[in-house]
Structure 1
Amino acid sequence: MENSVEQRICLKFCVLNEISCVEALKIVQKAYGDSSMSRTQAYEWYKSFKEGRGVIEDLPSTSNTEENVPKIKKIVLEDRRMTEREIARDLNISYGSVHHILRNILGMTRVAARLVPKHLDFLQKEYDF
């Protein structure tokens, strides 16, 4: 963690001194060797600093906020057949965030007691499984 923050500081310094991203990446790779950030990460951080980002640390996840937890709980209680992907699409948050909220915060899991055919005929409906 400490190492990545230092590398971001170097990238921000390069942006402020109008050094190109390619040159900035070379500087970081020379200074940190094998533990340097990847090319993709360097380009993303360089771009965000160039666009005016001032914060060097990672921003906390905004999907696990207190306002999304009751929304997800309400959706699940209204329709228990909703999938995690459908909830994520409806709330415009990531699948992983929905999964985390359901499993770790709300303590919910999907339980299927037994498999039942989707379409039952008249005799199957009368027969008690």
Structure 2
Amino acid sequence: MEVHHVPRGTMEQRVNLKFLVKLGKTFTEVYAILKEVYGNEYLCRTQVFEWFKRFKEGHETTEDDPRPERPSTSKMDENIEENGKLIHEDHRLSILGLAEITGVGKEWVRQIFS
């Protein structure tokens, strides 16, 4: 079983991975180079494979894809407004209660009111 720390410099490694793919390196070569250069801080094999595949398919960005659980700014504005209305209607509502009523994660509700 392979054990290593959460990688620092993830974006740097993705950029380097992209460069190595453009040079025509194989997955095995890319993975070995990253392990050699970054020591215990290299990306896990699965992450290297996923990014290797993306770059082989022609993707250019090294940024993560947007995640569905991350609300857009306009959605966040709607959530703030909706939670504000609920608080005015019932001052006893908890963060958990607001999260359940609105369907927004409790961490988002907590951020709205912090």
Do Structure 1 and Structure 2 share a fold, with TM-score over 0.5? yes
Report the Cα distance in structure 2 between the residues aligned to 1:44 and 1:24, rounded to whole angstroms: 12
CA RMSD, Structure 1 to Structure 2 (Å):
3.6
Are 2:74 and 1:67 equivalent residues in the alignment?
Answer: yes
Structure scoring higher RCO (CA < 8 A, sep ≥ 6) equals 2
Query: Structure 1 residue 55: deviation in Å?
Result: 2.4
The residue type equivalent to 1:28 in the other structure is L
Matching of residues 7-18 of structure 1 within 5 Å: 7-18=13-24
Partner of 2:10, secondary structure, is helix
Partner of 1:55, secondary structure, is coil
Report the Cα distance in structure 1 between the residues aligned to 2:34 and 2:41, rounded to whole angstroms: 10
Are 2:42 and 1:26 equivalent residues in the alignment?
Answer: no
Q: Which runs of 5+ in 1 are unaligned?
A: 89-97, 109-129
Query: Structure 1 residue 61: deviation in Å?
Result: 6.4
- Distance change in 2, residues 1:22/1:60 (3 Å): same
Q: Which runs of 4+ in 1 moved over 4 A?
A: 57-62, 80-86
Report the Cα distance in structure 1 between the residues aligned to 2:28 and 2:102, rounded to whole angstroms: 40
Cα deviation, 1:36-90, whole Å, max 9, x if unaligned, reads: 111122122222222333223456767243211243343884xx867549825xx
The residue type equivalent to 1:87 in the other structure is G
- Distance change in 2, residues 1:82/1:51 (3 Å): farther
Identity, % of aligned pairs? 29
Give the aligned length: 97
Aligned equivalent of 2:103, options 87, 93, 116: 87
Query: Structure 1 residue 34: deviation in Å?
Result: 1.3
Q: Which runs of 5+ in 2 are unaligned?
A: 1-6, 87-92
Please identify, of 60-69 and 26-35, the stretch whose mean Cα deviation from structure 2 is larger.
Answer: 60-69
Report the Cα distance in structure 2 between the residues aligned to 1:26 and 1:83, rounded to whole angstroms: 45
